[in-house]
Amino acid sequence: MADLDNKDQTEMDPADMEDVEEVEEEETGEDNSKARQLTRQMMQNPQILAALQERLDGLVGSPSGYMESLPKVVKRRVNALKNLQVKCAHIEAKFYEEVHELERKYAALYQPLFDKRSEIVRAAYEPTDEECEWKQDEEEELTVSKQEEMKEKAKVEEEKKDEEKEDPKGIPEFWLTVFKNVDLLSEMLQEHDEPILKHLQDIKVKFSDAGQPMSFALEFHFEPNDFFTNTVLTKSYKMRSEPDESDPFSFDGPEIMGCTGCTIDWTKGKNVTLKTIKKKQKHKGRGTVRTVTKTVPNDSFFNFFSPPEGTPPLTCGTILKEDEDSEAVLAADFEIGHFIRERIVPRAVLYFTGEAIEDDDDDYDEEGEEADDEEGDEEADEENDPDYEPKKDANPPEECKQQ
Digit-coded pLDDT (tens) for 44-93: 676 676 676 666 666 555 566 788 888 889 988 888 998 999 899 889 88
Q: Which residues contact 292 (CB under 8 A, 6 or more apart)?
A: 278, 279, 280, 281
Q: Which residues contact 42 (CB under 8 A, 6 or more apart)?
A: 4, 5, 8, 48
Digit-coded pLDDT (tens) for 210-225: 878 889 999 999 999 9
Q: What is the pLDDT of residue 63?
A: 61
pTM of full prediction above 0.75? no
**CA dist 109 to 100, 105, 115, 346, Å?**
15, 7, 11, 12
Digit-coded pLDDT (tens) for 343-370: 999 999 999 999 988 666 555 445 444 4
- CA 207 – CA 111 distance, rounded (Å): 12
> Per-residue confidence at 325, pLDDT binned at 50, 70, 90?
low
What values do phi and psi take at 313, rounded to 5?
-75, 145
> Among candidates 308, 331, 302, 359, which has minimal Cα distance to 179?
302
Mean residue pLDDT across the chain: 75
Digit-coded pLDDT (tens) for 123-182: 999 999 999 988 776 555 555 555 566 666 666 666 666 555 567 889 999 999 999 999
- CA 394 – CA 390 distance, rounded (Å): 6
> Per-residue confidence at 390, pLDDT binned at 50, 70, 90?
very low
Task: Give percent of the chain with pLDDT exceeding 70.
Answer: 61
Q: Is the pLDDT of residue 278 over 50?
A: yes
Q: Is the pLDDT of residue 202 over 80?
A: yes
Digit-coded pLDDT (tens) for 13-39: 444 444 444 444 444 456 667 767 777
Q: Is the pLDDT of residue 327 over 80?
A: no
Across the beta sheet with 232-240, the strand order is 200-207, 215-222, 232-240, 255-260
Strands (E), 298-379: none
Cβ–Cβ < 8 Å for 272, 196: yes
DSSP one-letter string for 266-294: BPTT--TTEEEEEEEEE-TTT--EEEEEE
Which domains can be identified in the chain, with CATH numbers? 92-127+170-314+323-353 (3.30.1120.90)
Q: What is the pLDDT of residue 151?
A: 62
Half-sphere exposure in the Cβ direction for 55 (13 Å, CA): 8
Residues 332, 338, 339, CA angle at the centre, nearest 5°?
90
Quick one: how many helices (H) and strands (E) in the chain?
18, 6
Q: What is the pLDDT of residue 240?
A: 81
